[in-house]
Chains A and B, each alone.
Chain A
Amino acid sequence: MKKHNRRIYLIIILMINFILTGCWDNYELDTISIVTGLGIDAAENDDEINLTLQVDKIKGDTGYEKGDIGPSSSFLIMNTTDKGILSAIDKLERQTPRSIFLHHNQVIVFGKEQVKKGIKKHMDVFIREHQMRMETWVLVSDGTAKEILSTPMEQEENSSIGLSKMIFSGSRDYESFSVKLIDLTSRLMEETTSPVIPIITAKNEGGSSEVEISGLAILKGDKYIGELDLEKVRGYSWIMGNCRETPLDINTEYGYIDASISNIKLKNKPKFGADGPFISIDFKGDVTIREIQGFEGMNTEKTFAILQKACVEQLKKEILDCFNYSQDLNADIYGFGEEFYRRYPKDFERMKEYWDEIYPELDMKIEVALEVTDTGKVLNSLYMEEQSDENR
């Protein structure tokens, strides 16, 4: 009897295995279209958006011609206009034989026009829908999102995948270039911070097309008000505290220096001083000299002293430039308001409504301490004076 029972159980278990995969919820690879990029543009109607989906075609062979969007490229673009993101996706679902699968979405691109109108009302879908992940990169396109998603890149056919790889490696230099959906949501939830989003430009030069990161877009509330170009991005990144090894090039009156600052220890503290709140920044770093041009006839001590001073001056200038620019735009891109809230919550409650007036008057006291630690393989450059040697 026992053996008989066991066999019955075994059969039941084996049969249950077939339904364990969830027959209602199975997704077969040839019935889904995998979306790798999602773009939102402004449509002519004010409350409609133009949705672009970049879908990756899964095929075994790689015989695709570059620069083509059509039956022979590895991705296709789907485009429609509707009131909301999900209703646009529903519309697109009716136009394609495969159902739309959003789990592998790499990037979300907003067109600049759309960002000028505001993005907060479209963020709800991204947070709520289960298929959208909080770690997708968010980008702003210099033109329209459709352009970016339709431009094939040189080394990577599918521009979304290429962009996500580019951001991932670019984030090692400037972490401010990588904005995930969760970062954007978190900053939008803070009342005084202006979020920043990287800007992508598509370039079409003589047959070859490239997509590159060209700055940071500044949003106030959720609308676009300005952008930081690449030099100011450097000034921004010094304070955000996430630089690992960042190059710095300076033109002094004696020559040109290319150095890189590494091993950065940054103390970024909001404080209350005699005339009100100010930010105190304490910057310590090591300078590695990468290239020296000029400095004719000077010896090493003088050179390095000038070098160090020049680096300190340049750093201060860059930080202050970016800070003043953000003050002109009245956009708290650094999150100083949030820092005040975190450390002095009771005082900040009083300051919160007036933050728009306080921020342009905010002072920044910068202390920079740099040391030249690494000069490469040689100490002197070819132009500099030889060190005198008694025994010669």
Chain B
Amino acid sequence: MPYVILIFLIISFIDLPDLIKGNSKKELMVVCSILCFGFVLSSLYALGIDLPSPLVGIENFLRDVLNLGYKK
């Protein structure tokens, strides 16, 4: 967990100063939101909490609801 925070701090220090100086709001917002998203995911992984996988979810949907899929 401390590693995660450390790494994200380093990343923000590399990327963000240029953006803040560059004066483009939209980019700053997008980059910040992606970094936040990554941070949340990494912390969850570091803390050991398992999120359900979207890929498995969609595939289960295809298999059960739409009945597409080769039977074993």
Task: Answer yes or no: A and B touching, Cβ < 8 Å.
Answer: no
Residues of B within 8 A of A (CB): none
Residues of A within 8 A of B (CB): none
